[in-house]
């Protein structure tokens, strides 16, 4: 994983590269944003850049022994700490602290990536704080979190915060076509809509790993919708919830499914001249999306969408 493989985040990538070139590398960062947006991927790419034996001004080479080891997860100086339970335990943090006092084994920097740092337990967070207060030389800590506000203020104040945002549609489509072999424009565009703009979700969709592309489930959903039977609304709403269940941001996932439902209704109208009205479907979907963004109950919102679609469409 190098910066070239990252979709979007151009400003963050430039800032990180500039810090290395100016020798102003921070000992601690918080990469924050929605899950699935590429936070951990960017952290791994930065680890590769810090330790690359042949880096350019804006990227690691991707082919030296250091880059290959980081890509395979076998670099001795790059550690990823993930919570195995509900919280990150203090014992896991203590083990990392014991290791970080030693110099890098073969690279330029020791890099510690703490995934889901929002889940640091109280003891683990306090232990982490003590390390950040007197960070060892040649050690970089990257905390992955939804928001810096989810961490202790004392920890956040000792870290450089890197805010990450969803890539634009063009950035995501370009990245999908570049990184997934034999991806045509229509498939990439469908993955973009269904993913809610999340690169990791879009990749899963294109590779057939995401439940929202399962043919049987889509066929079941559209059968319920096209039946024009309000009693089947509950099952249709259930299908939509299942499709969105794995999204990092559930509401955006549901919105992506709503958009795809409308697209399929438009296509059905063109091909068969029957079924719910495309115009009404789009109008109802926009109302549902607006309600969801105002924290309306997802289940009730979806049931209302399906029933209104079947009654008015």
Taking Cα atoms as reference points, which of 159, 135, 140, 134 lies closest to residue 148? 159
pLDDT tens figures, 172-229? 888 887 776 555 666 777 777 667 677 887 777 776 655 444 555 667 677 777 776 6
Mean pLDDT over the full length of the chain: 82
CA–CA distances in Å: residue 262 to residues 60, 94, 241: 42, 51, 16
pLDDT tens figures, 295-308? 888 878 888 888 88
Please give the pLDDT value at position 275: 62
Q: Confidence band (pLDDT; 50, 70, 90) for 274?
A: low
Strands 28-32 and 160-163, by their bridges, are parallel
Residue partners of 98: CB distance under 8 A and separation at least 6: none
Q: Where are the domains of the chain?
A: 3-163, 210-312
Taking Cα atoms as reference points, which of 85, 159, 157, 72 lies closest to residue 121? 85
Please give the pLDDT value at position 167: 87
Q: Domain 3-163: give its CATH architecture.
A: 3-Layer(aba) Sandwich (3.40)
Please give the pLDDT value at position 161: 94
Give backbone dihedrals phi and psi of 114, rounded to 5 degrees, phi first. Answer: -100, 100
CB of 144 closer than 8 Å to CB of 31: yes
Confidence (pTM): 0.67
Q: Flag whether pLDDT at 15 surpasses 50.
A: yes
The helix (H) or strand (E) run that includes residue 113 is strand 110-114
CATH class (in words) of the domain with range 210-312: mainly alpha
The upper half-sphere exposure of residue 73, i.e. CA atoms within 13 Å in the direction of its Cβ, equals: 4
CA–CA distances in Å: residue 124 to residues 89, 104, 254: 6, 23, 35
The upper half-sphere exposure of residue 18, i.e. CA atoms within 13 Å in the direction of its Cβ, equals: 6
Residues 192-223 as b or e (16 or more Cβ within 10 Å = b): bbbbbbbbbbbbbbbeeebebbeeeebebbbe
């Amino acid at each position: 994983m190098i910066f070239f493989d990252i979709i979007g985040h151009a400003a963050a990538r430039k800032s990180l590269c500039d810090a290395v070139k100016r020798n102003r590398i921070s000992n601690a960062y918080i990469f924050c944003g929605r899950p699935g947006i590429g936070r951990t991927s960017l952290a791994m790419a930065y680890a590769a850049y810090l330790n690359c034996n042949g880096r350019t001004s804006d990227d690691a080479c991707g082919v030296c022994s250091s880059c290959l080891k980081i890509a395979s997860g076998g670099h001795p100086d790059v550690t990823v700490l993930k919570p195995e339970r509900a919280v990150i335990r203090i014992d896991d943090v203590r083990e990392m602290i014991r290791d970080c006092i030693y110099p890098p084994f073969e690279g330029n920097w020791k890099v510690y990536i703490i995934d889901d740092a929002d889940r640091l337990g109280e003891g683990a967070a306090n232990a982490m704080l003590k390390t950040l207060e007197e960070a060892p030389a040649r050690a970089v800590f990257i905390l992955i979190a939804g928001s810096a506000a989810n961490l202790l203020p004392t920890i956040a104040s000792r870290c450089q915060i890197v805010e990450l945002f969803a890539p634009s549609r063009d950035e995501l489509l370009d990245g999908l076509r570049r990184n997934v072999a034999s991806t045509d424009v229509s498939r990439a565009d469908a993955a973009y809509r269904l993913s809610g703009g999340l690169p990791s979700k879009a990749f899963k969709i294109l590779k057939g790993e995401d439940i929202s592309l399962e043919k049987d489930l889509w066929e079941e959903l559209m059968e319920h919708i096209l039946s024009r039977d309000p009693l089947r609304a509950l099952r249709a709403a259930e299908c939509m919830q299942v499709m969105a269940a794995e999204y990092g941001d559930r509401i955006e996932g549901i919105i992506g499914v709503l958009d795809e439902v409308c697209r399929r209704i438009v296509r059905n109208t063109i091909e068969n001249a029957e079924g719910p009205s495309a115009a009404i479907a789009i109008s109802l979907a926009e109302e549902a999306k607006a309600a969801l963004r105002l924290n309306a109950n997802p289940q009730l919102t979806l049931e209302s969408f399906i029933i209104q679609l079947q009654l008015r469409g």
